[in-house]
Structure 1
């Protein structure tokens, strides 16, 4: 009997402790920012939500922007240099602690748009990429996806020496 009592208490203890390891996997719509290094430090520019199709137990977010090349110039200008390195930072939504990098998507793509022409930038697994050598102003499109959601963010970038 003593052996059975110890066994039952052990099982109950395991179930109790395992409940302490629960995590909140409800990932609502994250925000995104572009980090650009300057001589005086790192500058972080928030990117604006554009076309969004995001659903979680926190709720559903749908947003439609018909033309991002018209929408982009209405955003605050982001300044960068030719061939400058930059990084995309995905920030978990406030309900899920708002921590940086905690809501990393399955895929991430960055495209620069100008006059209907697009330039896809190579983004590594850490969200790092290099701006092209071309000077000018561009609408920057960031598309993130996880298993069932898609979010597009937009920025307006001026690349000059």
Structure 2
């Protein structure tokens, strides 16, 4: 009977350690993609200003972009339909979200879009826009930008 208890204790010890080694966290900021019903593929936004902390609250990645608008205009154009619903897709979610905002710029005029969970509706006016997504989390802040073209349906 003594061998049985040693074996049980040994198994409990091994199984408890597998929980420690089995988890791996991604301490990089997530990539962000846009998805809608009108596009077959997802469209990835470019990273803008980022301060992201990793293990031990140490800064893992930091980017400082002076001219976000120029960065966005250099990105491939993404086409969407006026007023359509768009979802934000995150590569991973190894963070606790604290806030998410989406804005579009057209001719230096900023419009904040209402975000519900991870979805928002695009403006109803056609034209070219610069999109800005700001993600605030327990790991830090990350900004993403892109160039979108909105067409009528």
User: TM-score, normalising length from structure 2?
Assistant: 0.82
Corresponding residue for residue 147 of structure 1 = 138
Mapped partners of 1:12, 1:69: distance in 2 = 59
- From 138, 143, 154, the equivalent of 2:129 is 138
TM value normalised by structure 1: 0.78
In the aligned structure 2, how far is the partner of 1:87 from the partner of 1:45? 11
**Counterpart in 1 of 2:8?**
10
Query: Hey, what's the Cα distance between the residues in 2 that align with 1:103 and 1:32?
Result: 14
State which of 115, 125, 143 in structure 2 corresponds to 1:123: 115
Aligned pairs for 1:88-127 (under 5 A) are: 88-92=88-92, 102-103=93-94, 106=97, 107-125=99-117, 127=118
- The aligned residue for residue 86 of structure 1 is 86
Q: CA deviation at 1:25?
A: 2.5
In the superposition, relative to structure 1, how do residues 7 and 145 fare at CA in structure 2: closer, same or farther (>3 Å)? farther
**Number of corresponding residues:** 147
Please, what is the CA RMSD of the aligned residues? 2.3
Match of 1:43, SS state, is: coil
Deviation at 1:27, TM superposition (A): 2.5
Gaps of 5+ in 2: none
Shift in Å, 1:36: 2.5
